[in-house]
Structures are given as C-alpha cells and as structure tokens.
Structure 1
Amino acid sequence: MCGIVGLFLKDKSLEPELGRLLSDMLITMTDRGPDSAGIAIYGAEAPGFAKITVQSPDPARDFPGLDGRLAAATGVTVELAVKDTHAVLTVPEASLEAVRAALATVAPTVRVMGAGASVEIFKEVGLPRQVVERFGIAAMAGSHGIGHTRMATESAVTTLGAHPFSTGPDQCLVHNGSLSNHNNLRRELKRGGVTFETENDSEVAAAYLTAAMRGGKDLGKALEGALADLDGFFTFVVGTRSGFGVLRDPIACKPAVMAETDRYVAFGSEYRALVNLPGIEEARIWEPEPATVYFWDHAKAA
C-alpha cells in the first residue's frame, strides 16, 4: 500500500519549518505502511562543497575516525556529522566521486543513501515517528523534501529496501505501486553501466529517471518518458536539486491528492496528510490527473 508525501516551498520564510511539516505529514500516513520509513531533505548548500549521506549497520564501529580515514585515502578534507545510524560527509564538490569510491575500501559495510549539493536522505526500518525522531528531522530546514512509509511487497524489509531511492546527484524518488517490467529495465540499465543495491522495483524507476536526466532531459521530460517506458501501476514523487515532480500511471490506480498556495505545493497519498499545513483552508486542492506530469522548479521560478 505505502504512503508518500512531498512538500515544495515557494515561500523562503517557511524553510525553517520544512522538517517539522514534512515529519507531521509522514507520521499521519503511518498506517499505510508500518515497516520502514524515510525522508529526503533538500537543505542549504555550501558553495564548492557536496554531501554524502551514509548508513552503517554498526555505527560504533564504522563512524569513529571515518573522516580521517577518508581524508588520508583521498587527500582532501572530510567533515563528518553523525546522526544515529547515518552520517553526513561534507567534501569538496570536485572530490565527491573520489570520496565515494574510497568508502568501499575504507568502510566497506557503510552504504551510501544519497549524495549531492543539497540532499540528505535518512531511512530505516521502523515506524515514521521513530525514524523522524532518531534523525531529528523536525529540526531540519530546507526548500523541499519527500517522504515515504512502506508496506513491503517487492523486496524484504531492510534499510536498503526503504524509500527514498537515490541513483544520481541530488535526485531521489518515492513510489507507491508496483512495476511489471522492472526486471527488463534493470537489465537494460545495467548494460548502460548502472549498478543496483536492491531488487526493489522503485530503485529501477529512480535509475531510469537519473539516466534520462543525464541524457539532457529535465525532470518534467524524464517523467514524460516514464509514461511510455514503465509498465505497471504507480505514483511517483521525485526530488531534484531544485525541482519537485509528481506522476501517476495512466489509470491512476493509487490514491493521491495535492494542494497549492502561494507559499507551497504539497502532495499526500491522502488528504489527511495535508490538513495541518499552514493556510490549507485557502489552498487549491485537487487530485492529480492520470498520465499527467506535475513539475515545479526553483531554478525556473528564479
């Protein structure tokens, strides 16, 4: 079943409230999927630097001194901020891939959740309230974010199987539904050099969009391509460095509702996820149409 939420802020004065608002939305969706949960927050950028969010099954073993070991391996300064089972590594933007590659040798049991200039991704097994409290999501600021609470159908209940899935810089996806042709797509993407961490069909969808965007498409065009190439029933909510997109399959099998004011755009699997947003009583409320791309971008609005 699963529950997904998203919030794209137009009003910068709301940015300190992003984590709190998104946490409340996700917790409201708990009964749609109680086995694992995750949130992606697009926060402030530091010019010239990038972030890598990592997760460890044994933080007490893996995280102490990890910054120093990575610095020794790559020759660049690495800052480490531990958040429970996750940590955020801040590195020079030009050295992002070098540090990421060094992780495989320096800390082979550490898994990358996401990377980019602004995104941080936190996900774990457990209820949404437990997950957002473990990582202090409510105190996080940002311009936009997406979240997911999962009822596992396509793969095991694990941290790696939780959403969001990120397969490219500052890109991530949450999904409600099931894809019927994900195995064929996975093989095709692998031939193009894509690697996968799980057997989850949602990771394939994320990788498909990443490949399309690397080919020069913006998020809106990539989502349009998904309508032709992805079979099954799905609702996607996708985040990029500056963008936020929503897409439902041609028969709109899964529930979805959106709200827009001059301060934000919000998505929820059900309306009750939106009821505590500021000014919701004045929002334009609608059910997104099937096979229709909805796409907002801070860069285009600037």
Structure 2
Amino acid sequence: MCGIVGLFLKNPNLEPQLGKLLSDMLETMTDRGPDSAGIAVYGSDTEGVKLTLRGPDQAALAETISQLESVFDRSFAKTARDTHTVLSVPAERETKIRAWLKENAPGIDVVSAGKRMEIYKEVGLPASVAERFDLASMSGSHGIGHTRMATESAVVTNGAHPFSTGLDECLVHNGSLSNHNGMRRKLQREGLTFKTQNDTEVAAGYLSWRMREGASLKEALESSLTDLDGFFTFVVGTENGFAVVRDPIACKPAVMAETDDYVAFGSEYRALVGLPGIENARVFEPEPAKVYAWERH
C-alpha cells in the first residue's frame, strides 16, 4: 500500500510554503499508510554537514550532544524538533563524530546527513507526525514524504521512509523488491552498511553506490530498472534535484502535476488538489520505466 508525496518548487517565492503544502499532502495519504510517516526537507544549507539525529526523547538527545560538545571541545549549531535534533558540524569532523556516536551513544541514530537535507520520521498517523515536527513551519526548495503501511516488517521508526544512504540523498518507495537480500550482500561487499532489513534501504543504497561510481542520478535510476527486481515506484531527493521512476509494469498508482511554479507527485490525485494553481497544471501519469527528473538552476 503506502503513500508517497513530493514537491519540487521552481518558484523561490513559494519556498516558505513548502512545509505547509507537504504537510497537507502527507495527511491526505493517511489511509494508504497509517502506521508511520516521514519527510525529507531540503532547506537552507550549512557550511559543514547537517546531521539529523534521532533519540528516545529530547532529554536523551540533549545529554548526548552535551557530551559530544565536551569531547570535541566546541559547541555546535542545533535545532531540536521532538525526537530529532539537527546538528551542524564541520565537514572534516563528520566521520569522527559519527564514530563517537556509534561507540558511545547506542540509543541515538543518525537519520540523515547533508548540506541541505533534514529527515524526520516517526511511528504514528501522518498528521500527528507532521505536527510533532512542526512540518508546516519549514521552508525549502523541495521535499518528499511517505506514509507507511507495514505489510512486510514491524511498525517501528527505523522502518519508516525516507531512507538515506548518502549525503543529501534520500528515497521513498511504494512496492516490493524480490532481490533485495542478494543486492544487500553485494552492496555490503562494496562497503555500504545498512541499519534495517527493509528493501527500501537497499534501493537507496543501490542509487548511492551507482552515483559514487560516477553515474548521474538519471543513469542510476535507469540501471535500477534492470538491477532491482520487483514492482516499485521510487521518488528520490538530492541536494539539487527531485526524480521519479516506476518499474516496467507500473502496477503502483502514481500521478504528477507540473506548472511554471512547481512539480508535484502523489500516489493519488487527491494529494495534489490543494496545491496553488492545480487547476491549470499539466496533470499526467508517469510512464513505466521512464525517469523524470528536475534540478535547481
């Protein structure tokens, strides 16, 4: 089942509305995925790297960050939102900070990393998750969201989408992959690590691996059509872009709308009806096995 939403803003004047628009779209997809929800927002950039951390609560996160600042003898810019905190760290310290967290803070997860991307996800109804993180107040150029119906694994936060396996890279997925275990082993031999058994994390890792090997996002998505077996719709975010691809059968529902101001994606058209100017949009169903991509200029 599951529901996907995505919004890429061409018009910078709409950027303050990104979070509110995404929040409304996400809530509309509740009956496609009432178990958990997640959002990736591409907002303002930082000089270093934004690490989005998740913990059991803000007290645990604050204590861990305090210890981290003591160890590294400096304070870090940070923004707390419910069970998550976005920590801005120098790029040259990122690897050591991640290693310290892994060794000393087993209850704290690094959800994402990037110059612009922040990811928030939790168990619960989409409207509740959006409210907990105050999604409506967020601004940015683009974002993607997902509502999950857990049919193949437990209802836990680690199973919620989006999944991120590279800087400013994330992916949401509706469908099922049949060869994800074999692909996971292949990618592990290539040096990738995975936190879950979710097939979507494997798909995210596959795209990261292909792009590290020199492929463009479009090329990586095109090769996924042969290397990843199953039925799927992928919506992908990068620092500068937004892309969509469906498998060759395209049995999962998908609809897109494009105007001079934005490009939007929804698992169903009703996720798009509240967007400004939707009555004048070019509305279409993305074709099977075709990559659609847009980038900021």
Query: What interval of TM-score do these two structures reach, taking the shorter chain for normalisation?
Result: over 0.9
Distance 1:144 1:229 in 2: 28
Task: Please say if residues 5 and 266 of structure 2, whose CA atoms lie closer than 8 Å, have aligned partners that are also in contact.
Answer: yes
- Compute the displacement of 1:134 (Å): 0.1
- Compute the displacement of 1:75 (Å): 4.4
- Compute the displacement of 1:82 (Å): 1.7
Q: Supply the AA of the counterpart residue of 1:42.
A: Y
Farther-moved stretch of structure 1 (177-186 vs 99-108)? 99-108
Q: Supply the AA of the counterpart residue of 1:214.
A: R
- Compute the displacement of 1:76 (Å): 4.7
User: Could you tell me which residue of structure 1 aligns to residue 284 of structure 2?
Assistant: 286
Task: Please say if residues 18 and 141 of structure 2, whose CA atoms lie closer than 8 Å, have aligned partners that are also in contact.
Answer: yes
Segments of 4+ moved more than 4 angstroms: none
Q: Supply the AA of the counterpart residue of 2:35.
A: D
CA deviation digits over 1:206-234, x for unaligned, max 9?
A: 00001011111121111011011000000
- Percentage identity across aligned positions? 64
Q: Check if 1:34 corresponds to 2:34.
A: yes
Distance 1:76 1:208 in 2: 36
2:88 alignment partner, SS class: strand
TM-score, L = length of structure 1: 0.96
User: Could you tell me which residue of structure 2 aligns to residue 227 of structure 1?
Assistant: 225
Farther-moved stretch of structure 1 (79-88 vs 5-14)? 79-88
Q: Supply the AA of the counterpart residue of 1:211.
A: W
Farther-moved stretch of structure 1 (122-131 vs 82-91)? 82-91
Number of equivalences: 297
1:51 alignment partner, SS class: strand
Task: Please say if residues 76 and 95 of structure 1, whose CA atoms lie closer than 8 Å, have aligned partners that are also in contact.
Answer: no
User: Could you tell me which residue of structure 2 aligns to residue 156 of structure 1?
Assistant: 154
Task: Please say if residues 219 and 243 of structure 1, whose CA atoms lie closer than 8 Å, have aligned partners that are also in contact.
Answer: no
Distance 2:228 2:275 in 1: 33
After superposition, the CA RMSD in angstroms is: 1.1
Distance 1:153 1:73 in 2: 42
Q: Mind listing any 5+ residue stretches in structure 1 that lack a counterpart?
A: none
TM-score, L = length of structure 2: 0.97
Distance 2:280 2:110 in 1: 40
- Compute the displacement of 1:154 (Å): 2.4
CA deviation digits over 1:65-104, x for unaligned, max 9?
A: 4333212333454223221111111111222222222211
Distance 2:117 2:90 in 1: 15
User: Could you tell me which residue of structure 2 aligns to residue 57 of structure 1?
Assistant: 56
Farther-moved stretch of structure 1 (50-59 vs 4-13)? 50-59
Q: Supply the AA of the counterpart residue of 1:107.
A: A
Task: Please say if residues 68 and 78 of structure 1, whose CA atoms lie closer than 8 Å, have aligned partners that are also in contact.
Answer: no
Q: Mind listing any 5+ residue stretches in structure 2 that lack a counterpart?
A: none
